[in-house]
Structure 1
Amino acid sequence: MDDKVETEDRWLADRFEEDRPRLVAVAHRMLGSTAEAEDAVQEAWLRLAATESSEIQNLSGWLTTVVGRVCLDQLRSRKAKREQPIPEAAAELPAPPAPTDPEEAALLADSVGVALLVVLETLDPAERLAFVLHDMFGVPFDQIAGIVDRSPVAARQLASRARRRVRGTPEPPSREIAAQRHLAEAFTAAAREGDFEALVALLDPDITLRTHSDDVCLTIRGAANIAGRAIAFSSVAETGQLVRVGDRIGAIGATAAAPPSVMVFTVEDGRITALDAYTDPELIRGLGLALLDV
């Protein structure tokens, strides 16, 4: 290999390494898995190595496009197979660059957590790509359009639909929602701390817990039974993040050993009267989850 080619290869490798953290962040928001994100970025490197780099005018943009297409293919394959990865804790994720739009920056100012990753799983692959690339990484719609094989206007519509689903219907928080949120926060805090008495105090004596998995629905009754079960699964509460589930509040939790789960709270007269726990990915996708305002 002559010196010129070796120098060009070294420059290309250095440039790729400069972009790697951003590419991994993009792929992780798309796929929800660090391992799959690393694989997508590695695939981009292999394609770059097989391409005449002198013909690439914007290397960062080219790499983002390749990673986006690899992730889109993976999401479509996953949807066909009905697979869902286990979202990882927010502390383990590389932070995305600040969005260029102030409105999006305000929405996502607290970085990405398990809740957002689970909500993103409810989007169609093209919607997820458009939302992640534009709202979280500031990629222009002209570039996104080329990835999803649609017009820039259609790409903008994809992101808009995704944004509405992620945020839910914008409306002032009602006193009822505020009360539900207060009780849900108290419940998850007591579960994390293993405080049995605090949990029982939050629960109606005749509370019902229903667990939904595939076509199976198991029922547990009684405040003491449910408080004990909540403490037994306190590791899930460690990552618990609150979301809107229609006109109710839910908590999303996940650990390395357990898939994502959603607990939906029913509140009456200042007590939690029912809990519905969902672990099946298809059931979770149908809940209409939306992030709470932060």
Structure 2
Amino acid sequence: MAAPDLSALRPRLPSPLQPLADERFTRRGVTLLLKRDDLIHEALPGNKWRKLALNLRAARGRPVLTFGGAYSNHLRAVAAAGRLLGFPTIGVVRGDELAGRPLNPSLAQCAADGMRLVFIDRSTYRHKHEPPTLARILTEARADDSYVVPEGGSNSLAVQGCTDLGRELHDLADVAAIACGTGGSLAGLAAGLAEGQRALGVPVLKGGFLDADIRRLQTEAFGAPTANWRLDDRFHAGGYARTTPALDAFAEDFEQRHGLPVERLYVAKLLHALTTLTEEGAFPPGTRLAAVITGRPGPETAA
């Protein structure tokens, strides 16, 4: 099978880098820059494009099977890619209790884009990465010939695809910061940066497990982890799809200040973290701080 022609999607690359005047940063001598990865493609914004591009080439037109929760940005991106490029997609959704219920807006969009949805119980889902469990899932989903992309899209090809994000920031930023779900984007971003540049990850899930995952992903992709990144685990607001009144108020205030819609699950936590860290003096005066905007508000706002 031939690899799909990804140029047909007409991605906007490199994504724009926009300075943003915010007195909470300027009074500390920090220049805030927004790396607008959310503008790469209408249906595959941000790190979704970067993580999927090499995987879609590797799939070479075969059905693509992947995993996600009921409000997964990743599932929607894979479904959209299948519709736009003409290959079948299968989404394995966490929670067999969802089967037979009306689809939420996120899953309804997946179905509208042609994705076949398969609901599995949460216990099986937790073990989906184990070869025997994955083989059973593929058989039961009638998808043995599928190309499998992991939850969130993070594998060695995805990490390699995200190195371009770092390369696009050469000579333009001192610190590049990104919200982290599965860690693949940060792993690639850090590897693509130039000497002297640093990467900062803001996990949106609690648990403290990402450090090991990122090192593993970098080792699989490049042979060894890089030493130019760190995580700050304080800003997850209770976990994935969780929020607090303070975080909601921050996001609404940021939108009013700058006229920029703020996606709540990732971007709000990133911007809140950077504002707090700047006020704590974490960045020396003169720092050029690039915040990677990975998505925009959509139907994923429910828990």
Bigger helix share: 1
Whether TM exceeds 0.5 here: the answer is no
Rg bigger for which structure?
A: 1
